[in-house]
Structure 1
């Protein structure tokens, strides 16, 4: 039985080995999975990025969030240059394993623009409105 079906049919509290789940993740053609960063205590969605297996394992091991930079083609440890680090509280996979939700503790702004999160462009009627300022 497919691991995602096993998890779907599992009772609360049941577990599956991490390695089996990681092996079943439907990584995209570039070996990546989307990762949504959410502030653990407020629920605010901060950003979306990408992770490869190495970035995910490093994040799980160190509890310091690491992504894959598609533009630089290298691991990107959030806050390495800015100091605005993300500490992992909990990592979750969605029901079919193609997206990660990272519940984190964000230190400083999450967005490279200095804004609290990356979702500051609100689509409203026939325009896009900037709804937050840099901190």
Structure 2
């Protein structure tokens, strides 16, 4: 019995930190105009995105979210609405767009645009697991 209890305690100590350290990773491909989201290492969502159009840049790299805003208005681009914003570098964010017909091709000023339902889902995941346990990876 004692061996069983020790084994159970060891298993719990080994498994529980993985749940406590749950991770959300959004990998955004500029060339494919696609976001693939994994939760705890399991592929969970795949969505079309719009990133920077000609003349603008979406920065590549690996980022932790730095701020979330349920509703934000761009101070740089005529107070354009940016619902479900997850900011990852300065004014760059993953956020919802009303221009859903443009998803799947470059169309933004540099942000990563998602369908409103997808953006709400990603925003909630970041809220649920915490910004420290989320990552946004942008690749060519």
Return the structure number with greater helix share. Answer: 2
Q: How high is the TM-score relative to the length of structure 1?
A: 0.28
Which structure has the bigger radius of gyration? 2
TM-score, structure 2 length as denominator?
0.27
